[in-house]
Structure 1
Amino acid sequence: MKKISGKLFLSKFTILLSSVFTFSLTSCLEMKDADDDIIKPATYIAIYHGAPDAPDVDIFVDNTRINNQSFKYANYSDYFNFVAPGNHRLKFTPVNASNALIDTALTFKEGDIYSLFLVDRLQEVELLAVEDSLITPGANEVGLRVVQLSPDAPAMDIVLVKSSTNTSFSTNMDFRDSTPFRKTPSGTHTVQLRDAGSEELLLAVPNITLEAGRNYSFIVRGFTSPPTGSTNVLSLQVIRNY
């Protein structure tokens, strides 16, 4: 049985650009050997702050704050099983404030795994819920998905370059789109984000090393044309989910 467990802590696991706020309650994820599906003995959620001009937030589940430190842009929480299956109210407020940026209810199914993303500009910020299906990669493989959270980027193609070989991972990804986890060769890659219409190179990130046997998310985030005062430009963040 593989386990994710621990206490609330700050980590700098993410490759590129920012620290990751990671908190894990005691939990256990079991992986099948025969196929790509996960055996899911409980309900798990992970949270990511991807709204590029939104403030640091506090996170409430059923009116109980679950973060001990400010949850900042590009922070990611590990999977945790704080919630039981069923309907729950989730609220995100600016730190130490009472006004809610997001106040919504979600229904979590028993045994499922979810990623919750704060997305869009501050004036339109919302919560994007994605049901995850982690996989068990083979030798020399990883599980990889892409989540597109740049609110002003054009539809884009995601290309992986390894040893001068280009592989199209996903095409025509719009804002809020995400792929499932897919088996992908491990090792060191360059990731290219290309305008799906013109093939213009929007961003290239070299030397991303993916460790075999892991599950990763590539998070496309930030503005292609940042508003005045914002430094959160288009970038790629790499998160190890498991």
Structure 2
Amino acid sequence: MYFTSKIKMPIRKRLKFAASLIVGSLALTGCLVNLESPQLPPAAYVSIFQGSTAAPAMDVFANQNRVNQSPLTYSQIIPYSAFFTGTRDFRFSAFNSATALLEKNFVLKADSVYSIFVADKAAGIDAILIKDIWKDPVAEKSQLRFVHLSSDTEPVYLEISGSTNPLIPESSFKAISDFKEVNKGNYTLRVKSKETNAILIQTGTLEIQGNRVYSLILRGLSAESTGDKKLDLQLVTNYINY
């Protein structure tokens, strides 16, 4: 299981949001230059997760503007960054290559928050845009969603210790659940086969903290038993409510 670093993201407060971005201007697309200016143009906020086992280290572009300065590799994430709104042409290519592996248009709306997940497909790669919608978390609770990015893993469901009902009743490849509210505490999360109820993978004891919004990502391949491409779980912190 792999944990990514925490991402601060004060939602619905665009100036405060932009000032808190971990990478600052590193992943800004279209250069919203002065984050302190009261006349910033409308912006959307987008994170990009590289979940394709088949993809090389990549460059990401939006309308010809490079999003990342260093290669984006498998299991890495570009934190939420500011993008101009409207139809944006996202291009994914091998690092330092002019040839696109994938080119896809996404519509971004002002003051909205999105995640893009890069995933495997039969030939090449795919990218999935999802609008991130959660309630403001409170001290005693968090919110968690499940993202299924394992191309050779059957439909699954997600169990959380201490509950008799699945947190996520069903998820198939490239499915992204809504955020579900969870009491803060220590839990074990189990991914089980929808067909056989067998445990495919589980976390150790995991602390779910209050005032947080998380994504739990199932990535890798069931066919791989070793190496960084084996089936694994990765926990991403989308938002911390300070």
TM-score where L is the length of structure 1: 0.80
**Preserved contact between residue 91 and residue 103 of structure 1 (Cα < 8 Å):** yes
Residues 141/7 of structure 1: CA separation in 2 closer, same or farther (3 Å cut):
closer
Partner of 2:231: 234
* Structure 1: gaps spanning 5 or more residues: 10-21, 29-40
CA distance in 2, matches of 1:217, 1:27: 27
Query: Are 2:167 and 1:169 equivalent residues in the alignment?
Result: yes
Query: Are 2:154 and 1:158 equivalent residues in the alignment?
Result: no
Deviates more, 1:103-112 or 1:119-128: 119-128
1:148-185 CA-to-partner distances (Å, cap 9, x unmatched) read 110010100100114xx555111221001111112111
Residue identity over aligned pairs, in percent, reads: 24
SS in 2 for 1:58: strand
Residue among 218, 223, 239 paired with 1:220: 218
CA distance in 1, matches of 2:27, 2:142: 23
* Structure 2: gaps spanning 5 or more residues: 1-8, 11-15, 37-41
TM-score where L is the length of structure 2: 0.80
Partner of 1:123: 123
Amino acid at match of 2:139: A
Partner of 2:65: 64
State the superposition RMSD in angstroms.
2.6
Higher relative CO (Cα under 8 Å, sequence separation at least 6) belongs to: 2
1:34-78 CA-to-partner distances (Å, cap 9, x unmatched) read xxxxxxx74111100000121110011111112111101111121
Residues 137/113 of structure 1: CA separation in 2 closer, same or farther (3 Å cut):
same
CA distance in 2, matches of 1:171, 1:105: 31
Partner of 1:187: 185
Q: Report deviation, 1:125.
A: 0.7
Partner of 2:78: 77
Residue among 208, 211, 220 paired with 1:210: 208
Residues 42/167 of structure 1: CA separation in 2 closer, same or farther (3 Å cut):
farther
